[in-house]
Amino acid sequence: MTIPTEPIGSIPRPGYLVEALGEHAAGRLDADGLGELHEKALVDTIKRLEETGSPVITDGEQGKPSFATYPLAGLTSLAPDGVVIPFADGHTRQLPRLTAGPFRYQAYADSYLREAKKYATKPVKQAVIAASAISLVYPGEELAGYDKEQFIADLVNEAEADIRRSLDAGADSVQIDFTEARLSLKLDPSGGLLQSFVDLNNAVLDRFSDEERKKIGVHTCPGGDQDSVHSLDVDYAGLLPTLFQLKVGNVYVQLASEADPERALRVIAEHAGPDQRVFVGVTDPIDPRVETAEEVRDRVLQAARYLPPERLGTCDDCGFSPFADDTSTSRDIAFAKIAARVEGTRLAAEAL
């Protein structure tokens, strides 16, 4: 048998690209110069991902400013003082705040996919940001002349277009990044905010056919950034039953860094839909130690005690560098972990 294995998304950018992003932001490097370095990093990332043996690859998000804000790059109706996301080590990330409507994406994920497909010899999946994450840019007080109801209608249209354009461009699959899911339970332990997020994302997913949804997945994790997380302390038992309400064919679940993976697997087995494939995280991007193929194998076999092997896949817990300036993990470690995931998954498939 074969067990599918896929990366989640981001690979740490090379030092020259991180430096170039800073130079461009400061006005010392033009768009053409930055574009050349983006392309150089993209070509190297795809080459090295394919060398790991991964049957499916990504562009490593080399061209994205971050996994969350790529649709907003260039939007002028934004202020910098939006929602603050606190991490366990004390650092924060901050979303922008919308100042006027109408709301439209400035970039769609298929632009990254099309560039990757120029150089890839293997199928390419594409990650997109969840509509629920982008919904957080709407301010607490209603905008004059642009109420939240109209904003949500526009957002659903844009989020649908983001997914559909990637499918139309030949994505092997489309992964919706939903890292705010677990965080929402810290903000609202009642689960009301989480349910509203799931309902919003399902409003987008309702626009796709059953066949299309087989190629769409959702990824959940506790938000890795700079060797820290924002919601690992939130109990999975509060998240997973609601998460599996999402109308997707694939669910990518962080598990390698989970304190009690057996307990999480029991919850997954109870709530996963009969037609959903569960990709379990078998490598931890925050842990600097590279897992052995045998460790990965054993994690897969553990999951196979709870999930039918034909509905099982493997992935990394999270992207290795969701924000462009995060260099806490090296590229070499990221590729070594991916190679271990690929080989360990193969060993597990042999054993099963």
- pLDDT, tens digit, for every residue of 78-107? 999 999 999 999 999 999 999 999 999 999
Q: What is the pLDDT of residue 28?
A: 96
Q: Could you please report the per-residue DSSP string of 123-139? A: -B-EEEE-HHHHGGGS-
d(CA 65, CA 334): 19
Q: Are 198 and 240 in contact (CB under 8 A)?
A: no
Within 76-147, residue ranges assigned H as helices are 110-117, 131-134
- pLDDT, tens digit, for every residue of 96-150? 999 999 999 999 999 999 999 999 999 999 999 999 999 999 999 999 999 999 9
pTM of the model: 0.96
5-351 sits in which CATH class? alpha beta
Residues (pLDDT < 70) of the chain are: none
Q: What is the pLDDT of residue 1?
A: 87
d(CA 69, CA 61): 12
Beta strands in the chain (DSSP E): 5-6, 78-79, 84-86, 92-94, 97-98, 126-129, 174-177, 216-220, 250-253, 277-283, 312-316
Q: Tell me the torsion sign for CA atoms 131, 134, 138, 144.
A: negative
For strands 250-253 and 216-220, give the pairing: parallel
Q: What is the pLDDT of residue 302?
A: 98
d(CA 276, CA 19): 41
d(CA 346, CA 343): 5
For strands 277-283 and 250-253, give the pairing: parallel
Q: How far is CA 328 from CA 130, 236, 284, 325, in A?
A: 25, 26, 13, 9
Based on the number of CB atoms within 10 Å of its own CB, is 173 exposed (0-12), middle (13-18) or buried (19 or more)?
buried
